[in-house]
């Protein structure tokens, strides 16, 4: 049995993944991407998923977002709706910053006056109110990602799925966006499921870190991150836990013939 699951405890659970497997393709060319994944994300929790390339992290986000269906198993999301943010901001180049953020509100039929007020609120939240009339090509990479975040928040979902959104940014900009995201999550109470190759980023941001084994992706281990906020990515506590996760990741990658070299997986 596969498909959508009714969350049994919607007051505390935001995402429930029950025995989910995903096969891409058919016949001899079929690839088992995910194998019996089973976990929950609590409401308001920030959970990070790490693993080698090809372990099914992005596939899982697509399944949770409803963009694809599991081959077996079930997925439930409290409220039914999610917002999904990719590595590429994917902004409409012919629209201004405020028009990009307003787009999902228009699709939902929000009235013009309410759209204007909501867009102003979201741009203030990501500190881009002064750039509302700019075009995407006039912005830095980090600013474009902040526009993409504001657009995702405009969907009014309480669950935000993030697929390596900061991977293409330099270290300083990534650190600034970590702070921005932490502030926004605290202000909104969002539930976040965040995919990354960067183990330190996962420990820096997450309340919990899930490790997926190399293909087929299985939930190999998880760690509660008890480090108080605010955190620094270069702090001793973050570095020590990241080292433990990295060692386990390298062990998992080395045991799979499909996995890349461990150093590539934890860049």
Residues in the chain: 267
pLDDT greater at residue 266 or residue 91: 91
Give per-residue pLDDT as tens, 188-227.
999 999 999 999 999 999 999 999 998 889 999 999 999 9
pTM: predicted TM-score of the whole model, two decimal places: 0.91
- Per-residue pLDDT, averaged over 81-89, amounts to 92
Evaluate the omega torsion of the peptide bond into residue 216 and state whether it is cis, within 30 degrees of 0: yes
| Residue ranges of the chain assigned to CATH 3.40.50.300 | 2-82+157-265
DSSP one-letter string for 171-186: HHHHHHHHHHHHHHHH
Nearest to 39 by CA among 21, 24, 19, 57: 19
Assign residue 102 a region (left: φ > 0; alpha: ψ between -120 and 50; beta: otherwise): alpha
Whether residue 241 contacts residue 203, with contact meaning beta carbons closer than 8 Å, is answered with yes
> Candidates 3.40.50.880, 3.50.30.10, 3.40.50.300, 1.10.8.60; correct CATH number of 2-82+157-265?
3.40.50.300
For residue 2, pLDDT over 70 is answered with no
- pLDDT computed for residue 3 by the predictor: 65
Report whether 199 contacts 246 (CB < 8 A): yes
- Going from the C-alpha of 134 to that of each of 79, 100, 112, 114, 197, the distances in angstroms are 34, 11, 20, 21, 32
Element (DSSP H or E) covering residue 137:
none
Does the N-terminal peptide bond of residue 230 adopt cis geometry, omega within 30 degrees of 0? yes
Distance CA 203, CA 115 (A): 36
């Amino acid at each position: 049995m596969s498909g959508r699951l009714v969350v049994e405890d919607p007051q505390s659970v935001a995402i429930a993944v029950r025995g989910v497997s995903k096969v891409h393709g058919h016949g001899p060319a079929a690839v088992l991407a995910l194998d019996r994944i089973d976990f929950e994300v609590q409401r308001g929790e920030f959970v990070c998923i790490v693993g080698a390339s090809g372990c099914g992290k992005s596939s899982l986000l697509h399944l949770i977002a409803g963009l694809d269906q599991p081959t077996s198993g079930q997925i439930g999301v409290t409220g039914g709706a999610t917002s999904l943010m990719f590595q590429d901001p994917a902004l409409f180049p012919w629209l201004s910053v405020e028009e990009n953020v307003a787009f999902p509100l228009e699709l939902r039929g929000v009235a013009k006056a309410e759209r204007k007020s909501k867009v102003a609120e979201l741009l203030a939240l990501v500190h881009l109110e002064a750039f509302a009339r700019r075009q995407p090509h006039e912005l830095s990479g980090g600013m474009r990602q902040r526009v993409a975040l504001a657009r995702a928040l405009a969907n009014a979902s309480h669950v935000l799925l993030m697929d390596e959104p900061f991977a293409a940014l330099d270290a300083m900009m990534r650190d600034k966006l970590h702070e921005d995201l932490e502030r926004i999550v605290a202000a909104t109470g969002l539930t976040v499921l965040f995919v990354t190759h960067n183990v330190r980023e996962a420990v820096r941001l997450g309340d919990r870190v899930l490790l997926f084994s190399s293909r087929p992706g299985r939930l190999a281990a998880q760690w509660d991150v008890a480090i108080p906020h605010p955190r620094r990515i270069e702090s001793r506590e973050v570095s020590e836990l990241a080292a433990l996760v990295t060692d386990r990741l390298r062990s998992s990658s080395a045991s799979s013939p499909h996995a890349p070299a461990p150093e590539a997986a934890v860049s």
